Amino acid sequence: MARGVERVAIIGLGLIGSSIARAITERMPQVAVTGHDASEEVRGVAHRLGLCDRIADDPAAAVADADLVILAVPVGGMADAAAAIAPGLAAHAIISDVGSSKAGVAAALAKALPDHVIIPAHPVAGTENSGPAAGFATLFDGRWCILTPGADAPADAIAAVAKFWEALGAKVDVMDAAHHDMVLAVTSHLPHLIAYTIVGTASELEEVTESEVIKYSAGGFRDFTRIAASDPVMWRDVFLANKDAVLATLQRFNEDLTVLQQAIRRGDADKLEDWFTRTRAIRRSIIAEGQDDPAPDFGRKH
């Protein structure tokens, strides 16, 4: 029988934590939500926005009667957040998180909370904005949430967390944490690294002025700047935590970049056209899967 989730505690009320709180209020009004954030300022904003039924100043008090506790803090802060809630946890509470990398976080949570059931999760949904005001209830609609339970995780706890995310609007997949980290290194972490690199490089090119970079940004640069505006602390932690998978993916990327560099230098038109035809097909399959807007220019309103 599936476990019931009637009381949820959210630790960290930024973009993801506040979006979960909003979605619970909207989609599961019967579920009581308590929130906590380490920042007094964030707690104040969360209170003013009416994000939770209760905002607790103390992390252990926040989780006191919770059936499900969700840690929504940067990956590098998960161990501290888990240690801070430990004294207040009910024995039956399921602990979950929303970290963008999973193997390291799962190990940190298991170490901090050895007697609790831990079902790590990663909602593959987000924006370049952060903080409690940036969240919205529909963030998870139609997006994937990947659960990475350990081999000994109880089936009823996995089912309860899956049901919770489905109620928030997400589609749920379950996979091994190491596999998750490799997949996300390709689909999310490497693209962010490339965007951070391109935007940094373009802004330092001496032949081109900064005003020209901004003025003519619609030529492609602008789309990278959205990703490169993502939260610096969150992404610092993701690259440090998912180091091995990111470095392996980066190695492949560097090899492919050299192939394209060579094709340009040698005037290999067929190579370039074949490559770009293949990548255009990938874009079309993402749209067909409902994972992006088919309107030109990423659906921007002009």
Nearer to ligand NAP, 81 or 199 (CB): 81
Contact with ligand NAP (CB under 6 A): which of 28, 32, 38, 61?
38
Residue with tokens 């030529």: 219
Q: Is 169 in the site for ligand NAP (CB under 6 A)?
A: no
Nearer to ligand NAP, 3 or 93 (CB): 93
Q: Is 138 in the site for ligand NAP (CB under 6 A)?
A: no
Q: Which region among 20-28, 124-132, 196-204, 277-285 touches ligand NAP (by CB under 6 A)?
A: 124-132
Q: Is 16 in the site for ligand NAP (CB under 6 A)?
A: yes
3-state secondary structure the chain: CCCCCCEEEEECCCHHHHHHHHHHHHHCCCCEEEEECCCHHHHHHHHHHCCCCEECCCHHHHCCCCCEEEECCCHHHHHHHHHHHHHHCCCCCEEEECCCCCHHHHHHHHHHCCCCEECCEEECCCCCCCCHHHCCCCCCCCCEEEECCCCCCCHHHHHHHHHHHHHCCCEEEECCHHHHHHHHHHHHHHHHHHHHHHHHHHHHCCCCCHHHHHHCHHHCHHHHHHHHCCCHHHHHHHHHHCHHHHHHHHHHHHHHHHHHHHHHHHCCHHHHHHHHHHHHHHHHHHHHCCCCCCCCHHHCCC
**133, 150, 290 from 178: Cα distances, Å:** 33, 11, 26
Under 8 Å between Cβ of 95 and 118: yes
Q: Is 39 in the site for ligand NAP (CB under 6 A)?
A: yes
- The distance of closest approach from Cβ of residue 136 to ligand NAP in the complex, given in angstroms and rounded to an integer, is 12
Dist. CA 141–CA 125, nearest whole Å: 9
Nearer to ligand NAP, 16 or 153 (CB): 16
Q: Which region among 62-70, 73-81, 153-161, 163-171 touches ligand NAP (by CB under 6 A)?
A: 73-81
Q: Is 88 in the site for ligand NAP (CB under 6 A)?
A: no
- The distance of closest approach from Cβ of residue 193 to ligand NAP in the complex, given in angstroms and rounded to an integer, is 15
Q: Is 11 in the site for ligand NAP (CB under 6 A)?
A: yes
Under 8 Å between Cβ of 46 and 132: yes
Q: Is 5 in the site for ligand NAP (CB under 6 A)?
A: no
Q: Which region among 10-18, 178-186, 191-199, 288-296 touches ligand NAP (by CB under 6 A)?
A: 10-18
Q: Is 35 in the site for ligand NAP (CB under 6 A)?
A: no
Q: Is 126 in the site for ligand NAP (CB under 6 A)?
A: yes
Nearer to ligand NAP, 58 or 156 (CB): 58
Scan residues 227-246 and list those touching ligand NAP (CB under 6 A): 231, 234, 238
Contact with ligand NAP (CB under 6 A): which of 35, 88, 99, 169?
99
Q: Is 37 in the site for ligand NAP (CB under 6 A)?
A: yes
Binding site for ligand NAP (CB under 6 A): 11-17, 37-39, 42, 72-75, 77, 80-81, 98-100, 122-123, 126, 130-131, 231, 234, 238
